[in-house]
């Protein structure tokens, strides 16, 4: 897809009531940036560097800012692309910036089709994996520019439009698929919690999650892998943020489930846009390059999320033939520590003192895939 409008917004919080503080747009024609638009109103310039909308005022109800946004999308009328587009779209539709039927695509999903072998698809992880030198400041303009560089390098060839689904049709969809045991393992062994008000029946969402391999629980703990949020998520979201647990929207859940099920029999209403694909075949997992430098070594993987830990452990034991896996945060007596990209850890500082080799997860990911055609 050569023509698109890349978008990033900064909001007050996860809930739409928290407002919109920044909107950044890059209009792309034939793969090149032809327009850059930053829509915001500065309140405190000294705080802008903090990111996440800090230093800006809430513009969600600002008619002039809304018209500025609509002028761009009406002039070019290209599809909107964002990283986790259901989140951005939810805010823009809620405040009347964007029509419900406007064509939208999720860059996360497109990149997953291009390279299904990554441990994470966060923007920071992708920048690290593809060795792209670009700041990620959680300000809308910097982040949308980072997304442009990632898309330019990955060059996805399969783009699937975000679809809309009414509660009634979602209920029919769930009922049509919930009886199919083992059809999808998208949430295999993941502990999932649902929270917040939703137009989709929670009991059915929990049922379909279980059919897709999830362990559905009622409260957030250190063992939780994923929190699915509707409106006004409350204390469960606060707890998930404290524990650095992945948080996603109801719309994301529907997309994740649907992309792994046979949609031919499901009563989903898609936008009237066909899948945009030039060649697109998904690779097979498990075809990893062996790393002789890991054979017989002891490796600590405590600094990875639980879901990633299990995948990395399987690769290390079955493909790299390491001697020992350590999952303790005080596990210093090891040869190597593999750690997540997006945090600063006491264990890493201790490892530096003890001259223990450390490998960032995205670098490890790149090393084991270096002979694959991704």
Q: Decide if pLDDT at 326 tops 50.
A: yes
Question: Which pLDDT score, from 0 to 100, does residue 266 have?
Answer: 34
User: For residue 37, what pLDDT band results from cuts at 50, 70 and 90?
Assistant: very high
- DSSP class of residue 302 equals T
Sequence length of the chain is 374
Q: Is 156 exposed, middle or buried (0-12, 13-18, 19+ CB in 10 A)?
A: buried
Mean pLDDT of 43-48: 84
Q: 4-159 has which CATH code? A: 3.30.420.10
**Low-confidence winner among 146-160, 292-306, 360-374 (lowest mean pLDDT):** 360-374
Pick the more confident residue, 1 or 374.
Answer: 1
Tokens 């979602």 belong to residue: 170
**Low-confidence winner among 98-107, 245-254, 284-293, 327-336 (lowest mean pLDDT):** 284-293
Q: Rounded to an integer, what distance in angstroms lies between the CA atom of residue 310 and that of residue 175?
A: 31
Domain residue ranges in the chain: 4-159, 167-267, 292-368
Q: Rounded to an integer, what distance in angstroms lies between the CA atom of residue 184 and that of residue 257?
A: 8
- From the candidate CATH numbers 3.30.540.10, 3.40.50.10190, 2.30.30.30, 1.10.3470.10, the one assigned to the domain spanning 292-368: 3.40.50.10190
Q: Rounded to an integer, what distance in angstroms lies between the CA atom of residue 119 and that of residue 365?
A: 7
Highest mean pLDDT among 125-134, 156-165, 182-191, 309-318: 125-134
Helices (H), 165-245: 167-177, 202-211, 235-242
Mean pLDDT of 27-52: 90
Q: Decide if pLDDT at 278 tops 50.
A: no
Question: Which pLDDT score, from 0 to 100, does residue 68 have?
Answer: 97
- From the candidate CATH numbers 3.40.640.10, 3.40.50.10190, 1.10.10.10, 3.40.50.1860, the one assigned to the domain spanning 167-267: 3.40.50.10190
Residue 191, C-beta contacts closer than 8 angstroms, at least 6 positions apart: 214, 215, 216, 217, 223, 224, 225, 226, 306
Highest mean pLDDT among 231-235, 272-276, 365-369: 365-369
Question: Which pLDDT score, from 0 to 100, does residue 13 have?
Answer: 83
Question: Which pLDDT score, from 0 to 100, does residue 264 have?
Answer: 34
Question: Which pLDDT score, from 0 to 100, does residue 271 have?
Answer: 36
Backbone angles phi, psi at 159, to 5 degrees: -125, 120
Give per-residue pLDDT as tens, 9-34.
999 887 888 999 999 999 999 999 99
Is 292-368 in the same CATH topology as 4-159?
A: no
User: For residue 181, what pLDDT band results from cuts at 50, 70 and 90?
Assistant: low
**Low-confidence winner among 77-91, 191-205, 255-269, 357-371 (lowest mean pLDDT):** 255-269
Mean pLDDT of 148-171: 80
pTM recorded for the entire structure: 0.73
CB 299 within 8 A of CB 337: yes
What element of type H or E holds 63? helix 63-76
CA triple 37-164-69, angle to 5 deg = 15
**DSSP SS3 for 79:** coil
User: For residue 67, what pLDDT band results from cuts at 50, 70 and 90?
Assistant: very high
User: For residue 285, what pLDDT band results from cuts at 50, 70 and 90?
Assistant: very low
Q: Rounded to an integer, what distance in angstroms lies between the CA atom of residue 337 and that of residue 301?
A: 6
């Amino acid at each position: 897809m050569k023509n698109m409008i890349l978008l990033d917004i900064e909001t007050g919080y996860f809930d739409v009531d928290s407002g919109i503080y920044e909107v950044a747009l890059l209009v792309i024609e034939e793969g090149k940036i032809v327009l850059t638009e930053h829509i915001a109103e500065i309140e405190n310039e000294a705080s802008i560097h903090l990111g996440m909308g800090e230093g800006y005022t809430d513009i969600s109800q600002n008619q002039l800012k809304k018209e500025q946004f609509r002028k761009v999308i009406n002039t070019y009328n290209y599809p909107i692309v964002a990283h986790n587009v259901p989140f951005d779209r939810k805010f823009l539709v809620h405040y009347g910036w964007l029509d419900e039927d406007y064509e939208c695509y999720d860059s996360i999903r497109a990149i997953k089709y291009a390279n299904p072998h990554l441990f994470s698809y966060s923007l920071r992880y992708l920048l690290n994996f593809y060795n792209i030198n670009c700041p990620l400041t959680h300000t809308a303009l910097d982040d949308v520019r980072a997304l442009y560089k990632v898309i330019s390098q990955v060059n996805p060839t399969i783009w699937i439009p975000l679809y809309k689904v009414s509660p009634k049709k979602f209920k029919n969809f769930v009922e049509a698929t919930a009886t199919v045991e083992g059809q999808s393992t998208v949430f295999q062994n993941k502990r999932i919690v649902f929270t917040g008000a939703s137009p989709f029946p929670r009991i059915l969402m929990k049922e379909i999650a279980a059919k897709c391999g999830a362990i559905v629980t009622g409260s957030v703990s250190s063992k939780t892998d994923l929190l699915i949020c509707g409106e006004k998520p409350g204390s469960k979201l606060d707890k998930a943020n404290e524990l650095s647990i992945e948080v996603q929207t109801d719309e994301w859940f529907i997309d994740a489930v649907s992309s792994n099920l046979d949609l031919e029999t499901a009563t989903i209403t898609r936008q009237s846009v066909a899948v945009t694909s030039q060649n697109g075949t998904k690779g097979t997992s498990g075809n990893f390059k062996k790393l002789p430098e890991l054979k017989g070594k002891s490796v600590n993987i405590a600094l990875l999320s639980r879901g990633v830990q299990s995948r990395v452990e399987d690769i290390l034991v079955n493909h790299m033939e390491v001697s020992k896996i350590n999952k303790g945060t005080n596990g210093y007596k090891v040869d190597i520590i593999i750690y997540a990209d997006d945090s600063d850890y006491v264990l890493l500082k201790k490892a530096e003192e003890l001259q223990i080799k450390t490998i960032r997860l995205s670098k490890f990911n790149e090393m084991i895939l270096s002979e694959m055609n991704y």
